[in-house]
Structures are given as C-alpha cells and as structure tokens.
Structure 1
Amino acid sequence: MRLNSLRPAPGSRRDAERVGRGAGSGMGKTARRGHKGQKSRTGGFHKTGFEGGQMPLQRRVPKVGFRSRRGQYVAEVRLPELAAVDGDVVSLETLQAAGVVPRNTRSAKVIASGEIGRAVTLQGVRATAGARAAIEKAGGKVEA
C-alpha cells in the first residue's frame, strides 16, 4: 500500500455538486446562490458576526466584569483576626462562623501580619512560614 493508492471506502463520500452547468441540471443560471446581494457575487465574503455595518450584537451588549477561576475563593487571614474565633481550634468552618472569611471561601491561608495573643491550633488551614513561627511561639500548633 502506498499513500497515492489510498481511496475512501466506496459510498462513503458523495460527489461534489457541479453547479452552474446549464438549465437541465437544476443548478444552472444562479447556481443555487439566489438573485443579487453580496452572497450571490464572487468574493462575497464577510466576517462572522458582520451585520452589514450595523453595530454587531457582540459589541452592542455591555461587558460586565470578570472573575478568575484560578485561585478561586482563597481567603487571607491575618494573625490578629484569629482572636475572633471562639475556642482554641481554628478551621475553615470556625473562620466562616466567626465572619472572618466569606461563606463561599474554599480555602484559607494565615499570613504573618500583626501579632497573635493566644495559643491556637490550625486545622485544615494553611499558614505561611512566618505565621507558623508566630503561632508556635505563642504556644499553638499547625496541623496539616
């Protein structure tokens, strides 16, 4: 078998319609293009969405905002904000209950900004190296 001997399976491809080959063919005269107008003429091309010079729909509709799906709903929590959580265990649920992070937050990360006054245990909440050191210095711990 050679590349020049390859053929599609018999009956799998229809013959191209030969338009403009006389009145008896049923596809003569206008060659299925109709009468007049840009699309009836040679080179009658226009871009997708082109509306004849009228302002296209895609440009008429107001564009509103953008919300990135990367890093979606990751909240930053500062060290002093941990004091708002009741109890010694700080998790995503307790941060949401205390109103420190929004309800739609998927994950949270404690950053080393400010100071922490009491020992807390982080569960399921990430922490920067500086925040981890400050929590452990205050007598708390960070669990993965």
Structure 2
Amino acid sequence: MKIENLGPKSGAKRRKRRVGRGIAAGQGASCGFGMRGQKSRSGTGTKAGFEGGQMPLYRRVPKLKHFPLVNQKYYTTINVKALGSLPAKTEVTLNSLLEDGIVTNNDGPLKILGDGELKVALNVKAAAFTKSATEKIEAAGGTCEVITN
C-alpha cells in the first residue's frame, strides 16, 4: 500500500454545492443567503462574540471573583503523623527535618499540619501551625513555638 493509493471510501465524499447557477438548480441568484444583510455579503462574517454593536456578554459579565493573591505565602508543609518517628524531647525545626530526610525540599518557612496522631513529646519550632496540629502536639506533652523568618 502506498500513500498515492489512499483515499476516502466510496460514498464518503459529497460533491460541492454549486450555487448561483440559475433558478432550476435550487440555489440560484442569492445562493441561499437571502436578499440582503450582513450574512448575505461576501467575505468573512463577524468575529466570535460580536453582538451587532451591543456590549457583548464577555464584557458585560462582572470579573470580580477569584482574584489571585498578590503576596502569597508559600510554606514547607508537613503533617503531625510524620513527626511520630522522631525520638522524645527532640527540637524540631526545618533544618533538623531536612537533615533527618523527613522533608526533602525547602519550599519556604515550615508549617505544621494536623493530619494523623502524635504519641511523642516534641519541641516544635515552625513559622505556622494549624489549630489541630497545636492541640495534638501539646496533648502529647510537647511545645509549639512560632518563629518568624
């Protein structure tokens, strides 16, 4: 089989409509576009969304929701359950977690999230804590200290 042998299946292609060839052809004179108006003229039509000069919908709709945060804070996040493998009374900081391999990359200040359980008393120093994380660390006998970077 060669490329020059390829073609559409018989009956798949229809012949082109021949317009403007007399009244008997069914598409004579105005070629099925009507008598007058913008859509009967030759050339391109209107652009997408054009409403005849009326203020188009995409410009009428208010664009107020979901503003991007300008000075968004990015944190290195970790859950409480990941701290359970550390020995008791350990001081937990971002650098100590990087050294232990619990956190693999530094995406900004450390934030402790409250998913999971903690049985070990730890002294955690981080930039931010969720309320549930603070409760779980203190319930296990540890302390939470907020540090600023």
What TM bracket, shorter-length normalisation?
0.3 to 0.5
